[in-house]
Structure 1
Amino acid sequence: MNIYRSVRAVTGASGTGIVDWDAVAEAAKASTPPGDLTLSEEERLGYKTDVQDARERLRTVGEVEFDLPDVVEVQNRHHWIDANVATFERVMQPLEEKGTGVFPGIARVANTGTMAFMLSFLGKNVLGQYDPLLLAEGDDDHGLYFVHPNITKVAESLDVDYPRFRRWIAFHEVSHAAEFGAAPWLSDYLEERMEEGIDALSEGGLDRTAFRELDTAMTAVEGYAELLMDRAFDDDYTDLRRKLDARRRGGGPMATLVRRLLGLGLKRRQYERGAKFFEAVADARGVAAASKVWEHPDNLPTDDELDHPERWMRRVA
């Protein structure tokens, strides 16, 4: 880890955009140890088996048809940062096209530093990721990533069995693959609302409808993944859930502030609210009924229905 190189990359941010993305990648990686990616043959087979078993279990339990992405990678932290710099660059493009403001150099340095700090923090904490490659051009396939150094580090810090913890993470990420695989329309739906919201911001406005619909859809995405993972995982996970939740809430005041600034508290609320909705549906009608949410965009729950699942069941299930 080289803090000096990270600071130098940020302060040297250049170009014509509001963010110097090359400097973001350099600064984030300079302040983040890549972590060991040396895998034994047993570990390689373990990742492969975990993902394949998750696919079969999730297909059966959720009664959904989907395939795994062609891109399934075991990464170190730098690999993850590079992949997500590309994602954020795509998302920020509409704002980039609007120009840099009155003090472009100062704004560029501040924006570059903010993005680098965010990606560095996340890169040290993300365990796995299903990447639908939103706003990507062409026919690039979705990706499934596992950040191996973080998985081994967290398993050790939580004092849990590493292969069992790794398998649990695999089930969660493959649950997202099940959603996007069962709902080919979902990527376009999310992209449209992201574009509407970002376009409004770039014009100095706020499209509340677009952001509300995006939040509702992401609550469904996170909640369904929680339901499917919990119902399909082939081992007891009570201790894993309890210890990981405690870790997310811990870390001291600085970590709490950073999580709040990055919106990770919002994501947690999406998990909890969505999971409560789908648990109610599954308990009343079965997991297959909950899976109907992915048959058509109109089947997504409304914001009101998330808190009143019986209304969604009357309408859809």
Structure 2
Amino acid sequence: MFGDPEQMAAAMRQFADMLSAPQGSGPVNWDMAKNIARHAVVAEGDPSVMEGERRQIVEALRLADLWLNEATALPSGLDGPEAWSRSEWIEKTVPVWKRLCDPIAARMVETMGGTLGTLGGGAEAQAMAAQLGPLMGMMRQMGGMMVGSQIGQALGTLAPEVIGSSDIGLPLSETAALLPGGIAAFSHGLEIPSEEIRLYLALREAAHHRLFRHVPWLRTQLFGAVEEYAKGITVDTSALEEQIRGLDVSNMEQLQEALSGSALLKPEESERQKAALARLETLLALVEGWVGTVTDAAAEGKLPSVAALSETVRRRRATGGPAERTFATLVGLELRPRRLREAAALWQALAADRGVDGRDAVWSHPDLMPTAADLDDPQAFVRGETRFDLSDLEEGKPDDEPGSGPKAPGDA
């Protein structure tokens, strides 16, 4: 159980070196998270990108971007394409992971800090917590360390299999990039020329960057859904209390071991959270469905193995690839492959009915976008009348507001 305040303070000071690592003003120790992730990829082998590999990837991304001009009305989003090692992917995508994870981690750390501050429960524990008030901040830092450790492990697991900057359908970087190691992992077992595989994956990467560069409201909507999810988060502390009941809190090693299980960090889902996740899931499905449709159209007639490559990507999604699993670990979301297939069917139907320009004009404003109900019946969405007059939405909108994307045919 509890020791006296001096004993606990002494034990906490033994842990101070780890807690004193700089972590900025957020809830997560991101320096720790990055170090854990890097250690994991180095342990598996993370060779630097050779000059020949870099040149092949940059040339593939540039050629893919040219091919996309025939398949979409959105202009190029390619600006200084790069080839990354796994460690570089971690370093360059952490700022976006931070934005995605911090809102949820803040609530989790707050709950964990409060629970750690009243170890064992009861009036005696509450009284002891009051005496140890100055240590509560350190308790929250411990929570930040534990969440940072979980994030680092998740990113370290994802990095060896990630292909580029857009595997999860979110804009993890403003730079289009592919990883030679990720391409090699994707190619394993495929009897398809390496150049075809590289070009197909470059098409997907370049298509993502066109979308995120020229649909300015999309990034805000995606991250806003994650933040909305975080606002209503509650953490079930029963498992945490069960783990720590009866522990000697002066034994930091024992306490850290008890709190290391990732299951303790899983949030409960409220109705508010479920609604936010449903919005996010639908929008991610629309992004991925559009990218797949545009990629396959651009590759048709140029890459003989386009059908096999497209099917490989679909299988990767259907089996819950590393990106989906990691995203689920970090923010509680799993992409549903059924939605991805239906989203692709909707974009294909729109192109057949309205042409490429008409299909892509739907991205002009969030109010024009299909809903989850529309994914259930794509043909009904295609047949339906536009719910808003696009020219009215466009009028008076500054470049950084929704509605500043491509116009429908005939708009001024």
Q: Which residue of 1 aligns with 2:161?
A: 125
- TM-score, normalised on structure 1? 0.79
Letter in 2 for 1:102: T
Q: Match for 1:150 among 164, 182, 202?
A: 182
**Please, which runs of 5 or more residues in structure 2 have no aligned partner?**
1-16, 117-139, 236-267, 387-407
Q: Which residue of 2 aligns with 1:77?
A: 86
Q: Match for 1:20 among 29, 36, 57?
A: 29
Q: Secondary structure at the match of 1:129?
A: coil
Give the Cα–Cα distance (whole angstroms) in 1 for the partners of residues 49 and 220 of structure 2: 37
- Largest Rg, 1 or 2: 2
Give the Cα–Cα distance (whole angstroms) in 1 for the partners of residues 324 and 102 of structure 2: 27
Q: Match for 1:235 among 292, 299, 303?
A: 303
Residue 48 in structure 1 maps to residue 58 in structure 2: yes
Q: CA deviation at 1:46?
A: 2.8
- Percent of aligned positions that are identical: 24
Give the Cα–Cα distance (whole angstroms) in 2 for the partners of residues 315 and 167 of structure 1: 38
Q: Match for 1:315 among 385, 388, 405?
A: 385
Q: CA deviation at 1:101?
A: 3.3
Q: Secondary structure at the match of 2:114?
A: coil
Give the Cα–Cα distance (whole angstroms) in 1 for the partners of residues 97 and 179 of structure 2: 18
Give the Cα–Cα distance (whole angstroms) in 2 for the partners of residues 97 and 84 of structure 1: 20
Q: Which residue of 1 aligns with 2:276?
A: 210
Q: Match for 1:88 among 88, 97, 113?
A: 97
Map Cα deviations across residues 141-176 of structure 1 (whole Å, 9 max, x no partner): 822221111212432443432221111110001111
Q: Which residue of 2 aligns with 1:5?
A: none
Letter in 1 for 2:290: Y
> What CA RMSD, in Å, does the superposition of the two structures yield over aligned residues?
3.5
Q: CA deviation at 1:260?
A: 9.4
Letter in 1 for 2:66: E
Q: Which residue of 1 aligns with 2:344?
A: 275
Map Cα deviations across residues 212-258 of structure 1 (whole Å, 9 max, x no partner): 2222211111110010001111313122234455566679xx98995
Give the Cα–Cα distance (whole angstroms) in 2 for the partners of residues 153 and 169 of structure 1: 12
**Please, which runs of 5 or more residues in structure 1 have no aligned partner?**
1-10, 135-140
- TM-score, normalised on structure 2? 0.62
Q: Secondary structure at the match of 2:69?
A: helix
Q: CA deviation at 1:121?
A: 1.5
Contact 1:196 1:210 in 2 (8 A): yes
Residue 116 in structure 1 maps to residue 152 in structure 2: yes
Q: Match for 1:293 among 359, 362, 382?
A: 362
Contact 1:29 1:81 in 2 (8 A): yes
